[in-house]
Amino acid sequence: MTLTQAEKAAVVTIWAKMATQADAIGAESLERLFSSYPQTKTYFPHFDLSQGSGQLRGHGSKVMNAIGEAVKHIDDIRGALAKLSELHAYILRVDPVNFKLLSHCILCSVAARYPSDFTPEVHAAWDKFLSSVSSVLTEKYR
Amino acid sequence: DEEAMAVAFGSINVFVSACVPPSLTRLLIVYPWTQRFFDNFGNLSSPTAIIGNPKVRAHGKKVLTSFGEAVKNLENLKATYSKLSELHCEKLHVDPENFRLLGDILIIVLAAHFTKDFTPTCQATWQKLVGVVAHALAHKYH
């Protein structure tokens, strides 16, 4: 799945708006993930996952920073996230099914914050983009 | 849980009728392979065509009515959806994965509609609802 020029443009445009609230969006997305899919909490036994927790916010930032890197290097997501891909494959080993769940929650957070911008075309572009990011992060699993 | 769902749905019934039909449209745009079930719907060649397509709109209304029935019959959903499930399996040949896709799209449309009111907790309730609806629709598959 490669992104068209129009799709890349849609991703970059929305990211520009998101960037200023990236930390909050990251934390909110994780909150959504843990509420809707409690099984995902099994990857964070060492975390305080209560609303507003510093660890939650910190981790949300990490996730959004990585997405920002992918946006910045949207023509070479694989290169931009190479180290992160290895981290997920050899250390974290998060089951691939969970990337879809987090992507869905990120889309919910974005839709809730930018409803008029989140047209069907923009939605499709972001879904595809997050799907690409997820693919890169799981491609070294085996 | 069922009560909470019925309350959640009932109290925003008016708005949900605004969200279900657009969700079908969005499904066909974001996941174009879902168009495979609608070969006789005419022009689905672009987002604009899909949004303007009267058959898509009519079908969206059908799905909404059915969804409304589901929420009114949550304790008895498998029975309520028994014939519909058989229809989707034996006549329509729809992979149940598509019910999950439509459910997730509905959630995103709701997020855009209710913005900050669509909290993680609210989303979690809705995820459960679309989950049981999808499960009931798939229940009679063989």
Report whether pLDDT(A67) > 60.
yes
Report whether pLDDT(B28) > 90.
yes
- Facing B121 at nearest CB: one of A35, A104, A112: A35
Those residues whose C-beta lies under 8 Å from the C-beta of residue B14, and which sit 6 or more positions away, are none
Give A-chain residues touching B51 at CB under 8 angstroms.
120
User: What 3-state DSSP class applies to B119?
Assistant: coil
Q: DSSP string of B49-100? A: HHHH-HHHHHHHHHHHHHHHHHHHTGGGHHHHTHHHHHIIIIIS---THHHH
Report whether pLDDT(B11) > 60.
no
In this prediction, residue B65 carries a pLDDT of 87
pLDDT tens sequence across B36-56: 999 899 999 999 999 999 999
- Note whether B115 contacts A115, CB cutoff 8 Å: yes
Interchain CB contact of A40 with B (< 8 Å): no
Residue for token pair 């507003």: A52
Give A-chain residues touching B101 at CB under 8 angstroms.
none
Give A-chain residues touching B127 at CB under 8 angstroms.
36-37
Q: Where do the structural domains in chain B lie, given as residue ranges?
A: 2-138
Contact B47, A120 (CB under 8 A): yes
Determine the Cα–Cα distance for residues A63 and A70; give it in Å rounded to an integer: 11
pLDDT tens sequence across B80-104: 999 999 999 999 999 999 999 999 9
Contact B106, B68 (CB under 8 A): no
Report whether pLDDT(B15) > 90.
no
Q: DSSP string of chain A? A: ----HHHHHHHHHHHHHHGGGHHHHHHHHHHHHHHH-GGGGGG-TTS--STT-HHHHHHHHHHHHHHHHHHHTTT-HHHHTHHHHHIIIIII---THHHHHHHHHHHHHHHHH-TTT--HHHHHHHHHHHHHHHHHHHTT--
- Note whether A120 contacts B25, CB cutoff 8 Å: yes
Report whether pLDDT(A88) > 70.
yes
Q: Please tell me the CATH superfamily of domain B2-138, with its number.
A: Globins (1.10.490.10)
Rounded to an integer, the average pLDDT of B131-140 is 95
Task: List b or e across A119-131, with b for residues whose CB sees 16 or more CB atoms inside 10 angstroms.
Answer: bbbbbbbbbbbbe
Average pLDDT, chain B: 89
Interchain CB contact of A117 with B (< 8 Å): no
In this prediction, residue B13 carries a pLDDT of 65
Q: Mean pLDDT check: name the lowest of A117-121, B66-70, B79-83, B85-89.
A: B66-70
Rounded to an integer, the average pLDDT of A94-99 is 94
Whole-model pTM: value is 0.91
Contact B94, B37 (CB under 8 A): yes
Give the chain B residue whose CA is nearest to the CA of A118: B112
In this prediction, residue B19 carries a pLDDT of 84
How far apart are the CA of B58 and the nearest CA of chain A, in angstroms? 19
Give the model's confidence band at A79: pLDDT under 50 very low, under 70 low, under 90 confident, else very high.
very high
Residue for token pair 């992060």: A137
Give the model's confidence band at A114: pLDDT under 50 very low, under 70 low, under 90 confident, else very high.
very high
The dihedral sign for the CA sequence A67, A72, A75, A79: negative
Give B-chain residues touching A118 at CB under 8 angstroms.
108, 112
Angle between the N-to-C axes of helices B54-72 and B120-138, in degrees from 0 to 180, rounded to the nearest 10? 100
Residue for token pair 């509609």: B113
Report whether pLDDT(B1) > 70.
no
pLDDT tens sequence across A6-51: 999 999 999 999 999 999 999 999 999 999 999 999 999 999 998 8
Q: Percentage of chain B with pLDDT > 90?
A: 73
Domains of chain A are: 5-138 (1.10.490.10)
User: What 3-state DSSP class applies to B141?
Assistant: coil
Q: In chain A, what is the greatest distance between 2 CA atoms, to the nearest angstrom?
A: 41
Report whether pLDDT(B2) > 80.
no
Interchain CB contact of A35 with B (< 8 Å): yes
Give B-chain residues touching A112 at CB under 8 angstroms.
111-112, 114-116, 118
Rounded to an integer, the average pLDDT of B47-75 is 91
Give the model's confidence band at B12: pLDDT under 50 very low, under 70 low, under 90 confident, else very high.
low
